Chains A and B, each alone.
Chain A
């Protein structure tokens, strides 16, 4: 399908054009960025619409010899997240970023191109290259403010991320040695006649590499530091997309190459479910002690990643639907929360929890959106967070994971405590404070993303129509493999 390539090339082209416009005609920053964002939104909607039977596009017309792009319902859900978050963050950061805007937009566009490339490609080494492209520009964005803590956090992020990339590269080389090819479909066919022990070893290498990038519990220390002193619009992307694209790559590799039977047979599903449970229990406790809003939201992101891992690795159709729906919801809710925190930072120049007193009365709408999204992320009934968490709990119960389902409910109350702590601070009265006026261009995207959380809560059939046919091409990989082999 012709448009799949444009989804990757358009942000790349815009990034390079911005590089030139920085030197010679830097007045055209605003029109260039806005026009390409709108065209990109239209392009994404077109690609998402006709992605139900997965479409194939071979780069260079080489068929199985070269690299293929595959638009699959699971990847089109990620394109939906990109579509929702991208346009609002571009509008938000137009006013929010004051110094060297050109560089900021170059890195943002290259990161989106990297993530779109990772999500669409159906080739193992190409997945690694685009993983490097998206993490390279997220290092740049996380060190954007050049403060001491920011650079130190970025260095820690760089070390841990490259450490993970080494194991992914090692596993890719060994799979290439075993199956002689890099195309995901041919690799999964070649893996069928490989002895059980070697397959589980390779799976451990892949899992170890990707888990460092996702940031599950023992390897999560770098994540809050990487978030702390980076520009807040970037935090919307990194918690909504960069971590999720690592989860996407893990699911793509495990479910398609190794297949669901091998996963349940080797017991990795149970390991991941309990790993997710440990992750969100520990990160809820850690989030409770934070005094800095951004670190609190970062730890809460790790917790939500734990829920997603539990949902996706329960191994049933309902679990996959619940997990993917939670990926979408978490991206929207966490995006809205970070945008609201961005507005508070813009007006107060600080993100400490004690400093955001009285903001409830100064910005009633924005704080109302913060409260709604906080309750939604905790998982209270009328909002979308509840829908996806309920699906995950149901799937866990159906597949016999009683303790994880119970711990999810415990986790819900744990996260309720520290979000309530913030909400109470929001509406306490204090003496008069000087706050700078917040322009309208910052409020509109926040309201748009925040209200989506209610819309998807009340009318979940909207996104679920797309998410319901994810398991068809993921649970049994024969369908996906048939199409990728040109069937």
Chain B
């Protein structure tokens, strides 16, 4: 299970690197989606107990996975989805007004 923690760090830093270095606006929004997904994976991982079962208690189980982290993960997924939708709308509007998706060109046209 430790390798999943390394994957979370790898995805988090890959997303942060994408946001910092990419020139294309859509690639930046993809970077945000990657960081969002890595945080949700971390949330699920934090709540996981080896050998546990899903938090649906139709029968009595010995080890049950932590339900709070899954509820927080569900909330973060929906928040991430709506923030991405707003970002993409602004990307469309910027592309229509400035005609390009490249940040450097936008900064020049900005004047």
Contacts and interface: CB of A to CB of B under 8 A. Distances in A.
A162 B110 contact: no
Main SS class of interface, B: helix
B30 interface: no
Q: How many residues of B sit at the interface, in one of the four size bands?
A: 20 to 34
B48 to A, nearest CB: 11
Contact of B90 (A136, A154, A173, A182): A154
A206 to B, nearest CB: 15
Nearest to B28: A159
Q: How many residues of A sit at the interface, in one of the four size bands?
A: 20 to 34
Interface string A148-160: 1101101100110
A128 to B, nearest CB: 9
B39 A148 contact: no
Contacts of B39: 166, 169-170, 173
Contacts, number: 60
Contacts of A151: 90, 93-94, 97
Contacts of B94: 151-152, 155
A312 to B, nearest CB: 29
B72 interface: yes
A136 B81 CA distance: 13
Nearest to B97: A148
Contacts of B19: 159, 163
Q: Residue among A154, A169, A177 with the most chain B CB within 10 A?
A: A169
A158 B86 contact: yes
Contacts of A47: none
Nearest to B107: A152
B79 interface: yes
B90 A143 contact: yes
Contacts of B42: 170, 173
B87 interface: yes
B30 to A, nearest CB: 13
Nearest to A151: B93
A162 B69 contact: no
Interface string A111-149: 000000000000001000100100010010001001011
Interface string B74-102: 01100100110011001101100110000
Nearest to A163: B19
A124 to B, nearest CB: 10
A158 B46 CA distance: 28
A68 to B, nearest CB: 16
B14 interface: no
A191 interface: no
A83 B73 CA distance: 35
A467 to B, nearest CB: 34
Contacts of A166: 35-36, 39
Nearest to A181: B68
Contact of A173 (B32, B43, B82): B43
B28 to A, nearest CB: 7
A176 B75 CA distance: 15
A82 to B, nearest CB: 24
B106 interface: yes
Given A143-B90, A151-B94, A177-B46, A136 B83 contact: yes
Interface string B51-83: 000000000000000001100100110010011
Q: Residue among A139, A151, A154, A182 with the most chain B CB within 10 A?
A: A151
A176 B93 contact: no
11 contacts: A125-B72, A136-B82, A139-B86, A148-B97, A148-B98, A154-B90, A159-B28, A173-B46, A176-B46, A176-B72, A177-B46
List of 5 A-B pairs having minimum Cβ-Cβ separation, nearest first: A177-B46, A155-B90, A148-B97, A151-B93, A166-B35
